[in-house]
Structure 1
Amino acid sequence: MTTARSVQRTYLLLMLGNTLAASLIWGINTIFLLDSGLSNLEAFAANAAFTAGMVLFEIPTGIVADTVGRRASYLLGTVTLAASTLFYVGLWQVHGPFWLWLAASVLIGLGFTFFSGAVEAWLVDALAATGFDGSLDSVFGRGQMVSGAGMLVGSVAGGWVAQHASLGVPYLVRAGVLLLMLVFAAVAMRDLGFAPERHGTVGQEVARLARQTVDLGWQVPAIRWLMVQALVTGGVGLYAFYALQPYLLQLYGDPHAYQVAGLVAAAVALAQMAGGLAAGQVRRLARRRTSALMLTTAIAVAAMLAIGSVDSFGAVLALSGLWGLTFAAFTPVRQSYLNGLIPSRQRATLLSADSLMSSAGGVWAQPALGRVADLRGYAASYLVAAGISAVAIPLIALSRRTDAPADSYEPTGASGSDGSSG
């Protein structure tokens, strides 16, 4: 018999495997792109193409999760991501043209959109179906901790393998781990508390669920301001993380010290574990979730300002850990708040729509900040990134003004099935 405990265990193993696979290249990805002959602008444009792919495919793949099944969406994502990762390695080997890097990045974005929303929606509905009456914040916090552990192992291992083999080998290992996760998910995942529904052709489904996204998402003020926040600031975190790789190597004085680049992801991973642990304790410090979101955002802005103002390898490494800690504490609180605002049957689609807005933010922010780095240096780009991130605070405040029930830290279990939004 499936229990809430077994659902959580499966979720945590999925998070561990996904993050381990992804993080094998997180510490070296920007260096990998630059090694293929791309400039900073082109490298971050390739990253922007990845987020553009997520923008293009978020809603269609969210519809797959809501009409075919969350398990099916996850399996499709695993296969797509493994194949597109191998495509990346091939381009690196032949120093492929820039347009092919853009195409490969879009395909990687497609793979991730099959994941986004689907696993989270699967968890929330399965917990509700198995009688879970605990706090979603704590579950998402444990997910952050497990993801942090996977990121720590993956980033350090990826940097070590790149240092002792080549920059392409961690990508091959990543594809292998993804195939293992495909087998695990095929056996362990079952759609619980959710019955796929279709009311017409694929085109009609797209139109119907797009309307629901507007009616149940954009037209709900509490959700709308969260989506605007994702659009404005969603790409800054991606840039801040990936730019740390070449920036720290620059400060360290050795552009080929790939294991040092792995330390960036390792520091963020440790911070993510600590932030995930703190997520369940935040309620003791803040009466409302939006209060916690604004506080962690303010600390993250201060950390980025400091990163752009100091000229020390050790100080920047430590500050990157502080930034990662606040980001890790922010994420599960936002997840719990957003899930409490949306109804179950459209959960995957609306979560994908929110992810779409964040990805759209990455489309404009990453190449723009990469261009600042080309013209003025990495330090200046972090000062600009801090200014953009600060915009999130008034946007979260606007969501707070709606006084949605989900903003309260009162126990609600796997809430959100009624779609209440205040």
Structure 2
Amino acid sequence: MNPAARKIQGVYLVLTLGNTLAASFIWGINTLFLLDAGLSNLEAFAANAFFTAGMVLFEVPTGVVADSWGRRASFLLGTVTLAGSTFLYYLLWQYSAPFWWWAAVSVLLGLGFTFFSGAVEAWLVDALQFSGYDGTLETVLGRGQMVSGIAMLAGSVAGGVIAQATNLGVPFLLRVGVLLAMFVVAFLLMHDVGFTPERSARPLAATRAVLKASVDGGLRHPPVRYIMLAAPFTQGVGIYVFYALQPYLLQLFGDPRAYAVAGLAAAIVAGADVVGGWMAPRVRKLVHRRTTVLIASNVASALILVALLFTTTFWLALVLLMLWGMVGSAGVPVRQAYLNDMIPSKQRATVLSFDSLMGSSGGVVVQPLLGRAADLYGYPASLAVSGAVQLLAAPFILMSRRRRSPADTATDLTAAP
């Protein structure tokens, strides 16, 4: 890796570290926070569904912002929006607000995250190409996932411990503070290189042009389209399982106020991300096609979720959940690399945001339904149903594979459009 590419990678890893650390302070206790505010399981997961609905509503518009005004501008807007909406969440908890207030602010949280999705990854890929990087995308994206996992491990454990030592609201205030610090870091270090924003005196016309080109490069491109159609099943289930782990593990542990154990749920996923990020480029070298990794990851992680239905021991559940996280995480950088190698640079952020939209749309439907299943039949049954839902993604990955895109067998970044 040449010095210019190494510098780009360094900035990417710093941004990933700070953002994930900020976000993860609440990941281990978010469901408990909502339940403590007086919401039922249905209402808590419905609030999460409104969060994903916000992502669905704003993914493409904020992706267009990133492609039209710059990936740096999108990132800076995201830090401010997410910090403000997180502080509102804290106020709702303080005053035991009714459900519809939670729904409204959850939509704003979704808006904050959409400014990040697509923008950072698009910034990285274009900047690496500009710097002359000739390695594999899986390598850099895998390192990013490892850094993200480390940050998530630290943040989620710290959030759980701090909540137990103080109260459930303090981790939310910590998130606000770190996000504001990340605004300063991004302002100083993140600059758009290898990409020129499509600013125009006619912003609506420019937005329509970017959006049309993005649809052409996304949904109208069959191998990309099928991978996107798989996203509602995989990401929708992933969001539910992540938040359901908190009360599920507390039930098995036998202490409903052991918030540090709830933080352990997020820590498991974080540790799995580190291992999965390390595994991704190595697993990729063992197979000829990227879709082989994606199909194997999908099927194996789904079967592990079904196995949780028959698990009644806390420590066995921890082992299974760790395996679930590692298997799923190993496929994430491969999927990112596969998509990026099929997307034109000019519309990269918008197409990636549209892909995130597809995943979020699954969360809107899946979370409340599985939350209701948890109310009626318990968390183990809802996790088993999650595994069955996730398997529905496999046929779409197979259809993408059958299109035999060059990106399926690409081994370096130069194959990207």
Distance of 1:205 and 1:42 partners within structure 2:
40
- The residue number in structure 1 matching 2:381 is 380
- The residue number in structure 2 matching 1:54 is 55
Secondary structure of 1:342's aligned partner: coil
Is residue 409 of structure 2 the alignment partner of residue 412 of structure 1? no
Distance of 2:309 and 2:220 partners within structure 1:
38
Distance of 1:415 and 1:348 partners within structure 2:
18
Q: Which amino acid aligns with 2:40?
A: S
- The residue number in structure 2 matching 1:390 is 391
- The residue number in structure 2 matching 1:242 is 243
Equivalences for 1:22-37 in 2 at 5 Å? 22-37=23-38
Q: Note if contact 1:136-1:414 (Cα within 8 Å) is conserved in structure 2.
A: no
1:63-106 deviations in whole A, cap 9, x for unaligned? 11001000000000000000000000000011101011001110
CA drift at 1:213: 2.5
Equivalences for 1:145-184 in 2 at 5 Å? 145-184=146-185
Root-mean-square deviation (Å): 1.2
- The normalised TM-score by structure 1 is 0.97
Q: Note if contact 2:75-2:115 (Cα within 8 Å) is conserved in structure 1.
A: yes
Gaps of 5+ in 1: none
- The residue number in structure 2 matching 1:79 is 80
CA drift at 1:263: 0.8
Distance of 2:149 and 2:414 partners within structure 1:
23
- The residue number in structure 2 matching 1:291 is 292
1:153-211 deviations in whole A, cap 9, x for unaligned? 00110000000000000000011111111110000001000001135533323322222
CA drift at 1:265: 1.0
1:340-382 deviations in whole A, cap 9, x for unaligned? 0110000000000000100111100000100111111111101
Q: Note if contact 1:24-1:158 (Cα within 8 Å) is conserved in structure 2.
A: yes
Distance 1:320 1:331, change over 3 A: same
Equivalences for 1:105-254 in 2 at 5 Å? 105-199=106-200, 201-254=202-255
CA drift at 1:413: 1.9
Q: Which amino acid aligns with 1:309?
A: F
Q: Which amino acid aligns with 2:148?
A: S
Range 232-241 or range 360-369, more displaced: 232-241
Distance of 1:305 and 1:373 partners within structure 2:
14
Distance of 2:324 and 2:234 partners within structure 1:
14
Distance of 1:261 and 1:317 partners within structure 2:
12
Equivalences for 1:296-311 in 2 at 5 Å? 296-311=297-312
Identity %: 58
- The residue number in structure 1 matching 2:273 is 272
Q: Note if contact 1:145-1:275 (Cα within 8 Å) is conserved in structure 2.
A: yes
CA drift at 1:323: 1.0
Q: Note if contact 2:215-2:351 (Cα within 8 Å) is conserved in structure 1.
A: no
Distance of 1:186 and 1:129 partners within structure 2:
20
Q: Which amino acid aligns with 2:118?
A: G
Gaps of 5+ in 2: none
Q: Note if contact 2:118-2:348 (Cα within 8 Å) is conserved in structure 1.
A: yes
Distance 1:384 1:210, change over 3 A: same
Q: Which amino acid aligns with 1:366?
A: Q
- The residue number in structure 1 matching 2:361 is 360
Distance of 2:414 and 2:320 partners within structure 1:
35
Is residue 371 of structure 2 the alignment partner of residue 370 of structure 1? yes
CA drift at 1:283: 2.0
Secondary structure of 2:26's aligned partner: coil
Distance of 1:176 and 1:414 partners within structure 2:
39
Distance 1:152 1:414, change over 3 A: farther
Distance of 1:161 and 1:280 partners within structure 2:
35
CA drift at 1:2: 7.4
Distance 1:30 1:73, change over 3 A: same
Misfit runs of 4+, over 4 Å: none
Q: Note if contact 2:29-2:168 (Cα within 8 Å) is conserved in structure 1.
A: yes
Q: Note if contact 1:339-1:415 (Cα within 8 Å) is conserved in structure 2.
A: no
Distance of 2:265 and 2:218 partners within structure 1:
36
1:308-357 deviations in whole A, cap 9, x for unaligned? 22111111111111111112111100000000011000000000000010
Distance 1:54 1:414, change over 3 A: farther
Q: Note if contact 1:342-1:350 (Cα within 8 Å) is conserved in structure 2.
A: yes
Distance of 2:201 and 2:379 partners within structure 1:
51
Q: Which amino acid aligns with 1:20?
A: L
Q: Note if contact 1:124-1:414 (Cα within 8 Å) is conserved in structure 2.
A: no
Secondary structure of 1:351's aligned partner: helix
Distance 1:308 1:215, change over 3 A: same
Distance of 1:244 and 1:309 partners within structure 2:
15
Q: Note if contact 1:63-1:205 (Cα within 8 Å) is conserved in structure 2.
A: no
Q: Which amino acid aligns with 2:412?
A: T
Q: Note if contact 2:64-2:211 (Cα within 8 Å) is conserved in structure 1.
A: no
- The residue number in structure 1 matching 2:320 is 319
Distance of 2:317 and 2:310 partners within structure 1:
9
Distance of 2:203 and 2:385 partners within structure 1:
42
Distance of 2:318 and 2:413 partners within structure 1:
38
CA drift at 1:287: 1.2
Secondary structure of 1:61's aligned partner: helix
Q: Which amino acid aligns with 2:181?
A: L
